[in-house]
């Protein structure tokens, strides 16, 4: 079985194209995932962590500045001008794997952990601890395999940069180099994303290399086009590798990703950590889910990315929730949760979903469905 860092399955020869399948399995179609029940109610625990994390470390005056920006935004929408809104700057929080855990701790302990929290280092710390626990022989084997594969991945990127791999180019995507086929047309017509939570033991650049090689053998992925990138993280965020595709290429992308990770004998340990918030989990033919691999829309303009879109919606909802139940004072919300967490949680559970849905209408538009929030603001053109 595959150990997670080596390319699984049949060896594909360069230039070879995999045969076209006569019938696409349901779990490899977009319609399968769009029909899932995936409302905000399924994500309340994670959202509450984000809210408490954000408001506990946000001074009152900074929160009030965010409220002013939000009110200006609402005013612009009323006169027909579309503008971005990321008032509380919570995009990174929505992506984090290692938010502090509330279960079994007091709110004071939770607040203290926030002050000490450094999410850019959590994955690195885990890797260091893991390596220290290994016998020297196994540690050396780990580095030998990882270094070899990392070198191959680096050479692959350099070949693309020099134009030596036909049909592939490097483009800027969110401030980092991403691999795109020349056939992939970005811009107004956006598509869909497969977001992969990369385990700290794995090198995301190696995964990008392996998946790209496999996707190049798929006819629909080649004709419709795809893009793939990594933020180069060390296991600290939920979307360490992102694949972009159009509707036509989704079945090929889903097939490649599920085959790649399904052949990983460490799957339950390494890829069962929940993936990007609000996404819907990729599945196999026998209905096993990949919680760490989630499908979302790549929303149409003017929304920059799925994470920015959801950050704007959640920020607007937080402001309205604090306004309605805590007199607009974020410090009062924190005090109330500290005094009686269970009572405040029940209030949040009962009331926040409706406020979130109102925020969707404000940010995205009146016609948006909220039964599956993985596909808000999608471009429905095929």
Instruction: Provide the number of structural domains found in the chain.
Output: 2
Contact status, residue 240 vs residue 198, Cβ threshold 8 Å? yes
Parallel, antiparallel, or unpaired for β 226-230 and 241-245? antiparallel
Say if residue 59 is in the same domain as residue 87: yes
Contact status, residue 347 vs residue 325, Cβ threshold 8 Å? yes
Q: What is the pLDDT of residues 257-302, one digit of tens each?
A: 988 887 665 655 555 678 899 999 998 887 778 888 999 998 887 7
Contact status, residue 266 vs residue 4, Cβ threshold 8 Å? yes
Contact status, residue 278 vs residue 238, Cβ threshold 8 Å? no
Q: Which pLDDT belongs to residue 20?
A: 58
Q: Which pLDDT belongs to residue 232?
A: 77
Say if residue 166 is in the same domain as residue 276: yes
SS3 169: strand
Residue 2 lies in a domain: no
Q: Per the structure block, which two tokens stand in for 273?
A: 């950590």
Distance between CA atoms of 173 and 176, rounded to whole angstroms?
5
Q: What is the mean pLDDT of the chain?
A: 84
Count CA atoms closer than 13 A to 86's CA, side-chain side.
Answer: 16
Say if residue 293 is in the same domain as residue 307: no
Q: Which pLDDT belongs to residue 310?
A: 93
Domain edge (last residue) among 281, 297, 313: 297
Q: What is the pLDDT of residues 84-137, one digit of tens each?
A: 777 888 888 888 877 777 777 788 888 777 777 655 557 777 888 889 999 999
Say if residue 193 is in the same domain as residue 286: yes
Q: Which pLDDT belongs to residue 2?
A: 40
- The residue segments making up the domain with residue 197 are 26-33+122-297
* Closest alpha carbon to 222 in 278, 167, 149, 162: 167
Q: What is the pLDDT of residues 204-248, one digit of tens each?
A: 999 999 999 999 999 899 888 999 999 877 677 888 899 999 999
Question: Residue 237 gets which letter from DSSP?
Answer: B
Q: Is the pTM of this model over 0.85?
A: yes
Higher-confidence position of 12 and 261: 261
């Amino acid at each position: 079985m595959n150990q997670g860092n080596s390319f699984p399955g049949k060896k594909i020869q360069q230039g070879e194209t995999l045969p076209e399948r006569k019938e696409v399995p349901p779990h490899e179609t977009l319609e399968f995932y769009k029909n899932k029940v995936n409302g905000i109610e399924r994500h309340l625990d994670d959202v509450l962590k984000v809210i408490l994390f954000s408001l506990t470390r946000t001074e009152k005056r900074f929160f009030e500045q965010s409220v002013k920006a939000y009110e200006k935004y609402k005013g612009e929408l009323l006169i027909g001008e579309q503008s971005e809104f990321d008032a509380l700057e919570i995009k990174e929080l929505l992506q984090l794997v290692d938010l502090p855990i509330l279960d079994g701790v007091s709110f004071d302990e939770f607040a203290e952990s926030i002050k000490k929290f450094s999410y850019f280092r959590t994955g690195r710390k885990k890797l260091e601890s893991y390596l220290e626990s290994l016998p020297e022989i196994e540690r050396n084997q780990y580095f030998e395999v990882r270094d070899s594969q990392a070198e191959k991945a680096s050479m692959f990127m350099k070949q693309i940069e020099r134009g030596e791999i036909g049909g592939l180019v490097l483009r800027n995507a969110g401030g980092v180099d991403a691999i795109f086929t020349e056939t992939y047309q970005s811009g107004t017509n956006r598509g869909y994303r497969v977001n992969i939570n990369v385990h700290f033991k794995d090198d995301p650049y190696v995964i990008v290399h392996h998946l790209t090689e496999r996707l190049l053998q798929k006819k629909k992925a080649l004709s419709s086009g795809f893009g793939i990138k990594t933020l180069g993280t060390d296991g600290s965020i939920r979307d360490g590798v992102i694949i972009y595709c159009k509707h036509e290429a989704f079945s090929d992308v889903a097939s490649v990703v599920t085959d790649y990770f399904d052949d990983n004998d460490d799957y339950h340990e390494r890829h069962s950590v929940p993936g990007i918030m609000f996404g819907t989990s990729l599945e196999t033919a026998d209905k096993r889910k990949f919680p760490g691999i989630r499908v979302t829309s790549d929303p149409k303009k003017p929304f920059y990315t799925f994470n920015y879109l959801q950050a704007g919606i959640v920020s607007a909802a937080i402001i309205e929730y604090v306004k309605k139940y805590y007199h607009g004072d974020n410090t009062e919300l924190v005090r109330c949760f500290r005094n009686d967490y269970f009572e405040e949680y029940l209030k949040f559970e009962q009331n926040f979903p409706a406020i979130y849905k109102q925020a969707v209408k404000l940010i995205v538009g009146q016609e948006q469905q909220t039964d599956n929030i993985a596909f808000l603001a999608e471009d429905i053109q095929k």
